[in-house]
Amino acid sequence: MNRDIYQEPLVSRYTSRAMQELFSEKYKFTHWRKCWVALAEAQHELGLTAVTAEMVAELKAHIDNIDYEVAAAKEREIRHDVMAHVFAYGQQCPLAEPIIHLGATSQFVVCNTDLLIQKRALRLIKGGLLKVIANLANFCENNKDIATLGYTHYQPAQPTTVGKRNTLYLQDLLMDLDYIEHLERQIKARGAKGTVGTQATFIELFNGDHEKVRELDRLVSRKIGFGDAFPVTGQTYPRKLDMKTAETLAGIGASAHKFAVDLRLLSNLKVQEEPFESKQVGSSAMAYKRNPMRAERMTGLARKLMGLPINFAATAANQWFERTLDDSAIRRMDMAQAFLLTDAILKLYINITSNMVVYPKQIEKHLREELPFMATEKILMACVERGKSRQEMHEVIREHSVASGFAVKNNGESNNLLELLARDSRIPFDRVELESLIGDYQQFTGRAAVQTTEFLREQVKPVLERYKDIVAQDVDASLSV
């Protein structure tokens, strides 16, 4: 690392080597050359006599040994990166030099390579997403019966279960997976379309043979790794695709953000936490602290990711006619960042969900503090069964509930509602009987555990089975810092 200049934290701190390599200059320029090879090879196969088998062989032999210094020097001279690399390639391939880039525009290599990178990057994202889904599915299964307080407005509402709560995050991720699968079908090659998408130069090269030009488009697309090409383009592939790609990735960011913020709140309640290393330092001053730093990092990265789609929307909306160059500089930054941010977020998500910690005793403590209030309707019905007036019992329970709530909030006392009710001669139950009415927390969780089982069986397991080969692959979710 060069410590004298700015370093991109996404690369130096947060992301996987595999994703970094996809957006490297080596990967980009090597695949520019593969595009030129695919074009020349297709032209030769379709009978273009200017392109010989020897030329194609020479181009193939020099795909990987790029002279970056020659290309960089030429770019400083002519201010055009594609033509600089055409020059550098031609220096190494003197026989093929006359036919490199024949009939193509710069966006032939730029767009096709960008699309290929995005296609492969999306595959990495999909793998990471599936790993999180598998982790959360295991967590939900293992914790489906643990009753815990449910919250609305971050106020205690009704009990749910730990597993059921985490199915909410799972469902968001399954929606994200659906969007990825749809996006995968949208990513096609730009193909060989010419300067403004009309294939005018190629129709000249093939002497007006439209079918050969159409086949050139199809053949080049297949050779560079696509099953299909966009049927029409301007100079570039449609920037609408970039907008949809950014939206899909930002959707993963929103799902992760929701999970991370909830985990931070649960960490404050001391009921559920992210993993914490034995030597990890929570604070430079407060030695006892266990800050949820991974979830906090996820929140920050997701916030950045969720802000990117507007840039892609503005770029797509401002491509005048067949193309303007204001897309270039921003896409160089934002496209890589969108994928790198998503990669970093999923690394954290996998890491956290691999070993989340639940504290049942602390959960029980919170339940005990709030459950008497939540159980008042059950107590009311039990009083009626013992022959008491519902209206009278409602008023008695209301009086004591207000008094207990006042003591909790104003005096910092524990919830003593059951004690107040037990001391009131109008209530036909003693303290032990009242405790027994609310002792089984599970009875207040409704169908939460069953819903979890049904959801995992009907929605999650079929997905994991369909992608079992991907789920089985190892994913590096270790954190650099």
How far, in Å, CA of 411 to CA of 420, rounded? 16
Give the number of other Cβ atoms within 10 Å of residue 158's Cβ. 15
Give the number of other Cβ atoms within 10 Å of residue 179's Cβ. 15
Are the C-beta atoms of 479 and 277 separated by less than 8 Å? no
How far, in Å, CA of 30 to CA of 62, rounded? 10
Please name which of 261, 54, 74, 237 lies closest in space to residue 168, comparing C-alpha atoms: 261
User: Can you list the positions of beta strands (E) in 113-250?
Assistant: 147-152, 155-161
- Under DSSP, the state recorded for 254 is H
List all residues 6 or more positions away from 440 whose beta carbon is below 8 Å from its beta carbon: none
How far, in Å, CA of 74 to CA of 60, rounded? 22
Angle at 128 between CA 126 and CA 132, to 5 degrees: 115
How far, in Å, CA of 349 to CA of 475, rounded? 12
What are the DSSP calls for 376-415, one per residue?
HHHHHHHHHHTT--HHHHHHHHHHHHHHHHHHHHHH----
Q: How far is CA 56 from CA 42, 221, 248, in A?
A: 10, 17, 39
List all residues 6 or more positions away from 68 whose beta carbon is below 8 Å from its beta carbon: 25, 29, 88
Angle at 147 between CA 141 and CA 149, to 5 degrees: 125
Q: In DSSP terms, which residues pair with 148 in a beta bridge? A: 160
Please name which of 149, 163, 145 lies closest in space to residue 373, comparing C-alpha atoms: 149
Are the C-beta atoms of 306 and 357 separated by less than 8 Å? no
Indicate which residue of 12, 210, 283, 389 is catalytic.
Answer: 283
* Residue 322: both structure tokens together: 């067949």
Are the C-beta atoms of 10 and 341 separated by less than 8 Å? yes
- Under DSSP, the state recorded for 189 is B
The identity of residue 228, as a single letter, is: D
How far, in Å, CA of 99 to CA of 168, rounded? 57
Terminal Cα-to-Cα distance of the chain (whole angstroms)? 15
**44 catalytically annotated:** no
**283 catalytically annotated:** yes
Name the 3-class secondary structure at 160.
strand
User: Can you list the positions of beta strands (E) in 113-168?
Assistant: 147-152, 155-161
Name the 3-class secondary structure at 143.
coil
As annotated, the active-site residues are 153, 283
